[in-house]
Amino acid sequence: MTDLQEQSTSTGNGDVVISVRGLKKHFPIMKGVFRRQVGAVRAVDGVDFEIYRGETLGLVGESGSGKSTTGRVILQLDDATDGSITYLDEELTTVSTNRMRELRKQMQMIFQDPHACLNPRMTVASIIGEPLVENSTMDKEARRARIDELLTQVGLDPSHANRYPHEFSGGQRQRIGIARAIALNPEFIVCDEPIAALDVSIQAQVVNLLKQLQEDLSLTYLFISHDLSMVRHIADRVAVMYLGHIVELAEVDDLYDNPKHPYTQALNSAVPLPDPIAESTRQRTILEGDIPSPANPPPGCVFSTRCPVAVDRCFTDEPAWRDTGGGHWVACHLA
């Protein structure tokens, strides 16, 4: 393949697994005896991005910025309020329930708390085998072989298949969740804070496993995390979310070495480095104040109330989402 061809295929539609356009998810706020809607939490308030085949798109941002909601709406676990989501060119917001059930096999999710989503009364074999029973015609023997294969793939001992979740450590439970997620050979996985509940020394194990599986099974990931250092390590491109908006999206090194949005810059400088010498000489931008409520976002730029460089129009006009070159997207009047 020539360079030109390679370029055109890697940005062409054929390589887009997920495409999100103008996506919004508002949760109504009800009040009073008649449960009248008095407002809405604008959890996701108009986001646009693509996820390419085989890549890891990191989605970072602080608590409540709308990361999980974005992931859930993409997988249609929540309905979108507005906008479009396509999976391999198929529109998900209008697809039939039956078709969505089919598509679910190809689109999976890994959660933060491996404890909460593993049924404590089911053995590991039945937890991992459940999607196989529901979605394939495998007989018992074939299923058993597949479960063994999956356990080996995620680094667990197949002879432990008949144990219960509580007999495993946090890191091992996360591996069980991963085995279940890959059981049906999915194309795309939303990893929602998959390592947040794990110890530092165990986080590396799980991240290395996710990377290995991505290579072996050509998986595409949306990797949601508030750990910017880990996202730098695992992602190919990164999107930064703030108050329901994606404010910046770029290739990973570009985003970290050359952040253009004042929020990304502040976020970068707020993450402590495990290096006392670097820390002692670091320039810090300390943001003032707290994140506004998504039920009542500020007019203009969502970041304007905390932005250290805001100018007049930031408080009135919403900055456009634009490519500043080389796929480095940013929504800021000054970038």
Partner 1 sequence: MIRGEPALEVKDLKTHFNTQDGTVHAVNGVSFTLHEGEFLGVVGESGSGKSVSMASLMRLIPMPPGEIVGGSVMFENQDLLQIDIDELRKVRGGDVGFIFQDPMTSLNPVLTIGNQITESLKLHTELDKKERNSRALELLELVGLPDAAQRLKSYPHELSGGMRQRVMIAMALACTPKVIIADEPTTALDVTIQAQIIEIVRDLRSKLGTALIWITHDLGVVAGLADRVLVMYGGRIVEEAPVRELYATPHHPYTKGLLDSVPRLDQKGEELYSIEGQPPSMYTEPTSCSFAPRCPHAFDRCAQEVPPLRLISPGHKAACFFNVTTGEPYVD
Ligand X SMILES: Nc1ncnc2c1ncn2[C@@H]1O[C@H](COP(=O)(O)OP(=O)(O)OP(=O)(O)O)[C@@H](O)[C@H]1O
Residues of the shown chain interacting with ligand X in the complex, contacts defined by CB under 6 A? 27, 41, 43, 61, 63-69, 226, 294
d(CA 225, CA 58): 7
Q: Which of residues 234-253 bind Mg ion (CB under 5 A)?
A: none
Tokens in use for 164? 């219960």
Backbone φ and ψ for 50, nearest 5 degrees, come out as -120, 155
Binding of partner 1 at residue 138 (CB under 8 A)? no
Binding of partner 1 at residue 207 (CB under 8 A)? yes
Lay out the site mask for ligand SF4 across 284-323 (x = CB under 6 A, - = otherwise): -----------------x-xx--x-xx---x----x----
- Nearest approach in angstroms of CB 295 to ligand X is 8
Residue identified by tokens 């931008």 is 285
Binding of partner 1 at residue 278 (CB under 8 A)? yes
Q: Which of 194, 256, 184 is nearest to 224 (CA)?
A: 194
Handedness of CA 231, 232, 237, 241 (dihedral sign): positive
Query: What order do you get walking across the sheet with 329-330 strand by strand?
Result: 107-110, 188-192, 220-224, 56-60, 237-242, 245-251, 329-330, 322-323
Q: Which does 131 bind (CB under 5 to 8 A by kind): ligand SF4, partner 1, ligand X, none?
A: none
In the complex with ligand X, the residue whose CB is nearer, 124 or 223, is: 223
Binding of partner 1 at residue 157 (CB under 8 A)? no
Backbone φ and ψ for 288, nearest 5 degrees, come out as -90, 155
Helix 140-153 and helix 124-135: axis angle, to 10°? 120
Site for ligand SF4, rule CB under 6 A: 261-263, 301, 303-304, 307, 309-310, 314, 319, 332-334
Site for partner 1, rule CB under 8 A: 62-63, 169, 171-172, 199-205, 207-208, 211, 226, 228-230, 232-233, 252-253, 256, 266-280, 282, 284, 286-291
